[in-house]
Structure 1
Amino acid sequence: MIGLAQNLIQDFRFGLRLIKRSRVVALGVVISLGLGIGATASVFSFLDFFLFRPLPVPESDRVVRLRNSTPANSIG
Structure 2
Amino acid sequence: MSGSPPALAPAASVQALYRTLHQLALASGYLDPKEPGRFRDRLQRLASRTQLLEDEAQLLHGLSREILKRLG
**Length-normalised TM-score, structure 1:** 0.29
Higher relative CO (Cα under 8 Å, sequence separation at least 6) belongs to 2
Computing the radius of gyration over CA atoms, which structure comes out larger, 1 or 2?
Answer: 1
TM-score by length of 2: 0.31
